[in-house]
Amino acid sequence: MAFKILKDLGRFHIHLTSDITRSTRIKFLYAGTGLIATSIAAYTSSGLKVFAAESKLDAKQFLAEPITSINHLNDNLNDMKTKMEVLIMRIQSDFVKSLESMEKDGMKFKIDRWTRKEGGGGITCVLQDGQVFEKAGVNISVVTGVLPPNAVQQMRARGKQMDEGSLPFFAAGVSAVIHPRNPMVPTIHFNYRYFEVTNKDGSVQWWFGGGTDLTPYYLNEDDAKHFHKTLQQACDKHDPSYYNRFKKWCDDYFHIPHRGERRGVGGIFFDDLDTPSQQKAYKFVESCADAVIPSYIPLVKQHKDDGYGYAERQWQLLRRGRYVEFNLIYDRGTKFGLYTPGARYESILMSLPLTARWEYMHEPDPNSKEGQLVDVLRNPRDWLNVKA
């Protein structure tokens, strides 16, 4: 038997010669974007040479052992629950490694794998007191159990076709919040999740949700344009109406009513997405999650060494206070997490900064840089059509 394997742009190309005459099996491990163990079988059938490939997951590509056993995942690669768990673990691993590469002293994330007695668990990754990131958290959770009647009722009120009473559910998601040390580097938040509930007759109600948004302390229009353009490109791969629709949803959702301002300069946000099909909705979520690194890491590289002083630091702490207000008072995901049976509060509250500040009746000079930011927070812009 003679053949050769060529690696090109992260894929294996297998070239067969005509002298394959018997069944052969080759196993190898490829370390590229991630580690995938692949089993390849070559065989002959009625004189026709056939080459079959079957991909298998390798837990080494992740930061920790998956919540679901690797054997179960490999046996159910086409199931949406498996696809989502694999996606969020890959996104977590890629983003954590990108953030760690920014730290000058080699500081690493603490990786905390946890389980819950009600079913499932998660992997919480936190970095604190870094030179670049004062606090950074990147979490995944894969949770199973029974939704209490009040939670089911809330979902029914949103139009979900669900039976009344307690129902089995599955939820998988990845979330991250980055609080940089330098006030010139913006904070980013993202969250992408999949949810399904099983009715009493066995029918399943499923949907996706999530989004990515940017919270600067000082307005940099080029940063905002880059961030929104990257998200638009991810949306346009699937539906040209998605970006404008989900951009507005983001501006409306991340609103602090008692302050009359948005949390940041927006991004995209969506919930209850169950069209046009499960696979297409999943691919859209995958594109959005993959857009996080190119939308944010260039901004960190550009501004992490910018100069700042005491006044800029105090303003940053004030804006963090607004961030805390939104997360604890209005954020639906925080509320859902806190009221879920067996909730792990340390992971839910991971999004809060190490330090924040509140001043009584503080209002910046409208002509200052701080005032310019507040004006944008009160009057969201179309960042893709900002005039110079």
Q: Which of 63, 66, 93, 92 is nearest to 77 (CA)?
A: 66
Query: Could you give the CA distance from residue 21 to residue 337 in angstroms, rounded to a whole number?
Result: 58
Element (H, E) at 29: strand 24-31
Start-to-end CA distance of the chain, whole Å, equals 65
Percentage helix, strand, coil, to 5, in the chain?
Answer: 35, 30, 35
Backbone phi and psi for residue 30, each to the nearest 5 degrees, phi listed first: -110, 125
Pull the structure tokens for residue 172. Answer: 């998988």
Beta carbons of 278 and 301 less than 8 angstroms apart: no
Q: Which residue(s) pair with 7 in the sheet? A: 12
Set 13, 15, 189, 258: catalytic member: 189
DSSP state of 60: G
Query: Quick check: is 189 catalytic?
Result: yes
Beta carbons of 217 and 312 less than 8 angstroms apart: yes
Within 13 Å and on the Cβ side, how many CA atoms surround 370? Answer: 14
Q: For the chain, where are the alpha helices, taking DSSP H only?
A: 70-75, 80-100, 149-157, 221-236, 242-253, 278-290, 292-303, 310-329, 332-339, 345-348, 369-378
Pull the structure tokens for residue 236. Answer: 């346009």
Long-range contacts of 235-242 (CB under 8 A, 24+ apart): 235/268, 235/284, 235/287, 235/288, 237/284, 237/287, 238/280, 238/283, 238/284, 238/287, 239/284, 242/268, 242/284
Beta carbons of 12 and 36 less than 8 angstroms apart: no
* Residues annotated catalytic, as ranges: 189
